[in-house]
């Protein structure tokens, strides 16, 4: 019998799934073999454009002068967000390799800050448990475990509590958390979870709405395109800023169900009713074989083509701080 009390993204076996109507990959076994061969034997670190990474000195100087509201890009999906008088750290991946025991995709540029240089933050916000978003070394070394609130999707609290964090809240999609004028709501994303061979989709993945008196921000986490974002926009929008992934999208037969193209990212930002979009999840680590620096011009061109406004498609340097 159909359980009408169970949300559609909750499976009967206790695992999770994407919203109805989400895209499905078309990859064959041969496609996966070709992808793995490319990543293992053909991937080379790219040439880094001038200005892509700020010096450590410039990063720290901008941080010291940061306004509220403001945002600092540490690289990939890691941001320090200042809003409502609080500091929020998203998806803190700072180590060299996205994996265990040095095995996995490697950074070609360093993080803007090391874990030792991180400030004490009020909220640590985690979208899902992939290695390029949940960095064990950071979670273990971060020194302010008893002071920082941790917000995670369903199933991820034990990862933090067994490492000494005492203020951990799990959220399902559409559930919210509030403290001292900051409201965070977990929202749908189209992706998956897993850190090993047997735990795929055992924990949830999410995007987030962050709201204070300073405004409203949407953080996409990892996501593909999907009709669900119209619902997000209708229920939770508009947003002043959408922080949305624009990289790691090839080959499409594999990635179309987990990551958006730059063009799809603009479509997602429009669907959630965002006024501006900041591109993330690019220019940091070789997760996929496309040129990691082709995403920004495609992102800006898509903003023109989709009447979003080129000036509203924002590309940051790693280490850069901007006013919001």
Summarised one tens digit per residue, pLDDT across range 76-102 is 999 999 999 999 999 999 999 998 877
Residue 307, domain member (yes or no): yes
Q: Are 203 and 16 in contact (CB under 8 A)?
A: yes
Give the pLDDT confidence score for residue 8 in this predicted structure: 94
What domain count does the chain have? Answer: 1
Segments forming the whole domain that contains residue 163: 50-323
With cut-offs at 50, 70 and 90, classify the pLDDT of residue 4: low
With cut-offs at 50, 70 and 90, classify the pLDDT of residue 40: confident
Q: What is the CATH number of the domain that holds 259?
A: 3.60.15.10
- Expressed in angstroms, the distance from the first to the final Cα of the chain is 49
Q: What mean pLDDT comes out for the span 130-151?
A: 97
Residue 42, domain member (yes or no): no
Residue 146, domain member (yes or no): yes
Task: Please give the residue that has the higher pLDDT: either 130 or 45.
Answer: 130
Give the pLDDT confidence score for residue 223 in this predicted structure: 98
Residue 3, domain member (yes or no): no
Q: What is the dihedral of CA 256, 206, 213, 275, to 10 degrees?
A: 10
Q: What mean pLDDT comes out for the span 236-261?
A: 97
Give the closest residue to 124 by CA, choosing from 153, 103, 152. 152
Give the closest residue to 42 by CA, choosing from 51, 54, 33. 33
Is 3 a residue whose pLDDT tops 70?
Answer: no
Give the pLDDT confidence score for residue 101 in this predicted structure: 79
pLDDT, tens only, 291-303: 999 999 999 999 9
Residue 17, domain member (yes or no): no
Residue 147, domain member (yes or no): yes
Residue 26, domain member (yes or no): no
Residue 7, domain member (yes or no): no
Measured in residues, the chain has a length of: 324
Give the pLDDT confidence score for residue 42 in this predicted structure: 77
Q: What mean pLDDT comes out for the span 182-192?
A: 98
Give the pLDDT confidence score for residue 293 in this predicted structure: 97
By three-state DSSP, how is residue 113 classified? coil
Q: Are 257 and 25 in contact (CB under 8 A)?
A: yes
Give the pLDDT confidence score for residue 232 in this predicted structure: 98
**pTM score, two decimals?**
0.96
Per-residue tokens: 106: 């490697």
Q: What is the DSSP letter of 255?
A: H
Is 1 a residue whose pLDDT tops 50?
Answer: no
pLDDT, tens only, 193-227: 999 989 999 999 999 999 999 999 999 999 999 99
With cut-offs at 50, 70 and 90, classify the pLDDT of residue 2: very low
């Amino acid at each position: 019998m159909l359980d009408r009390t169970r949300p559609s993204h909750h499976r009967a076996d206790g695992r999770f799934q994407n919203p109805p109507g989400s895209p499905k990959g078309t990859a064959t076994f041969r496609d996966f073999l070709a992808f793995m061969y490319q990543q293992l034997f053909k991937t080379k670190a790219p040439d880094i454009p001038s200005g892509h990474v700020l010096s450590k000195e410039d990063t720290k100087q901008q941080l010291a002068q940061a306004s509220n509201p403001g945002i600092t890009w540490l690289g990939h999906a890691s941001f320090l967000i200042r809003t409502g008088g609080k500091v929020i750290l998203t998806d803190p991946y700072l180590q060299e390799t996205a994996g265990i025991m040095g095995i996995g995709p490697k950074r070609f540029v360093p993080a803007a800050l090391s874990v030792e240089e991180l400030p004490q933050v009020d909220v640590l916000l985690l979208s899902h448990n992939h290695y390029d978003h949940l960095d064990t070394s950071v979670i273990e070394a971060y020194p302010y475990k008893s002071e920082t609130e941790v917000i995670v999707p369903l199933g991820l609290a034990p990862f933090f509590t067994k490492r000494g964090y005492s203020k951990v809240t799990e959220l399902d999609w559409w559930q919210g958390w509030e403290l001292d004028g900051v409201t965070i709501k977990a929202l749908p994303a189209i992706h998956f979870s897993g850190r090993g061979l047997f735990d795929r989709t055992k924990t949830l993945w999410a995007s987030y709405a962050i709201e204070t008196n300073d405004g409203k921000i949407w953080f996409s986490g990892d996501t593909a395109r999907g009709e669900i974002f119209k619902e997000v926009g209708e229920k939770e929008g508009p947003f002043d800023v959408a922080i949305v992934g624009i990289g790691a999208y090839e080959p499409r037969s594999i990635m179309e169900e987990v990551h958006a193209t730059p063009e799809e990212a603009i479509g997602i930002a429009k669907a959630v009713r965002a006024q501006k979009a900041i591109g993330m999840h690019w220019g940091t680590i070789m997760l996929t074989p496309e040129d990691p620096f082709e995403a920004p011009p495609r992102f800006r061109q898509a903003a023109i083509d989709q009447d979003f406004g080129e000036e509203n498609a924002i590309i940051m340097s790693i280490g850069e701080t901007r006013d919001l």
